[in-house]
Amino acid sequence: MEKAYMGIDIGSISTKAVIIDKYCHIIASEYLYTEGNPIGAVKKIISILKKKMDFTKYQVVSIGTTGSARKLIGSLLGASVVKNEITAHAIGTTSIYPDVRTIFEIGGQDSKIILLKNGIVVDYAMNTLCAAGTGSFLSSQSKRLGVDVKDFGEIALKSKNPTLIAARCTVFAESDLVHKAQIGCLKEDLIAGLCRSVAVNYLNNVGKGKKIVGPIVFQGGVSKNIGVVHAFEELTGEKILVDENSHLMGALGVAILAMRGGREEVFSFDIENVSFETKGINCHGCANCCEIICVKRNNKIIDSWGNRCWKGQIKVGS
C-alpha cells in the first residue's frame, strides 16, 4: 500500500482538494462551490474523493489545509498541517514551475501577488477591499450583459477595439459599462474592456510598487479566462503561464507540506456523520477584546483561535 497525502483549500467562494502520491503527482482532485458552508462543502468534497480513490493501492496518511477556513476544517479533519494561502500557493506553483518569479492569483472575492527568487517568497500583497479585480465582478457583469462568464474569454478575443472601462472600483466600472453599452459599443468590445479593466485594476492595486519579473504564472479561477490572460500579456509584455490545474495550486501546495512534515495517521474518509459546534467568545482580558472562535466536538473544545495574546488562550479539551 502506497502513502498518499491530501490538501484542501477552503475559500469563501470555492473549495478545492487534491490527493497526491509521494512523487507529488495528483491522483485525485475536486473543485466545488463553498456556498457559505465550509463544513458542508468539505464533507461533500471528501465524499467525492472517496469515490475517486483507489484504496487497493493508496491510503491517505496526512492532511493539510489552507484558505480562509483552514483552521476550522483543519480541526474537522485532524489536519497535521495548517498553512496560510501565500505559503501554500508558492509551494504548489514552484513544484510545477521551479523558475517562477511572479505569481498572479485572482479568486472569486480577493486577489494576491507573490514574488519569488530562487524558489523563496521575497514579497507579496493581497487585496480584499475592491471586487473590481476579481471573479465575482466578472460574474456579475456577465449577467448584466446576458453572457455566460465561461464564454467571456473567447468573446473578448474577437474584439478589435476594446472599450475603455473605468477600473478604479466596482461602482465606477459598472457605471461606465452601462454608459458605454447605452452609446452603442459592441458586446465583444465591452467584454474585452472588462477583461482589461480587471488586469489594470490588479496591476494598479495588488501589484502597485512591485517589480514584476517573468516567468509569470497566473492562477485562481479567473486564470481560466483567456481574455484576462491576453490583457495581462499586453500590459506586462510577458508570456503568462496558466497550468491546467491552476485552480488547485493552494491545495497542491498544502498537500506537499503535509507530505514533507506532517504527522502520519491513516485517514478513514468517514466524516459524513461527524458534527461540530462553532461558537464565538469575546475575551475581555485586555483592550483588544478579541473574538475567539471555539470549535467543539462532543461538548469539548478541540481547537480555538482569534486571540492576540496569552490572555485569550482557551484550553483544548475544556
270 found inside a domain: no
Give 121-151 pLDDT, tens digit per residue.
Answer: 999 988 755 555 566 677 777 777 777 777 7
Residue 106 shares a structural domain with residue 233:
yes
Range of the domain at 173: 98-242
User: Which residues are CB-contacts of 316 (< 8 A; sequence separation ≥ 6)?
Assistant: 301, 302, 303, 304
Residues 72 and 119 in one domain: no
Q: Are residues 212 and 294 in the same domain?
A: no
Shared-domain flag, residues 228 and 102:
yes
DSSP β-ladder status, 58-67 and 81-82: parallel
Cβ atoms of 66 and 7 closer than 8 Å: yes
Which residue did the predictor score with more confidence, 37 or 311?
37
Going 224 to 137 to 150 to 42, the CA torsion angle's sign is positive
Q: Are 83 and 29 in contact (CB under 8 A)?
A: no
pTM of the model: 0.80
pLDDT single digits (tens) 180-199: 676 777 778 888 888 888 88
Residues 112 and 48 in one domain: no
* 115 and 219 both lie in a single domain: yes
pLDDT of residue 253: 95
105 & 231 share domain: yes
- How many Cα atoms within 13 Å fall on the side-chain side of residue 58? 23
| Percent of the chain whose predicted confidence (pLDDT) is above 90 | 36
Is residue 125 domain-shared with residue 206, that is, in the same domain? yes
Q: In the prediction, which pLDDT does 196 show?
A: 85
- pLDDT confidence bin for 62, thresholds 50/70/90: very high
> Can you tell me which residue has the cell 508570456?
239
Are 231 and 282 contained in the same domain? Answer: no
Q: Do residues 87 and 132 both lie within one domain? A: no
Q: How far apart are CA 219 and CA 242, in angstroms?
A: 6
Number of domains the chain is built from: 3
236 and 300 in a single domain? The answer is: no
CATH (domain of 160): 3.30.420.40
Question: Is 271 within a domain?
Answer: no
Instruction: For residue 33, give Cα distances in angstroms to 41, 67, 170, 200.
Output: 7, 13, 23, 27
Domain co-membership, 87 together with 43: yes
Handedness of CA 240, 245, 250, 252 (dihedral sign): negative
What per-residue confidence (pLDDT) applies to 179?
A: 65
- The Cα–Cα gap between 181 and 202 comes to 23
Highest mean pLDDT among 105-114, 190-199, 215-224: 215-224
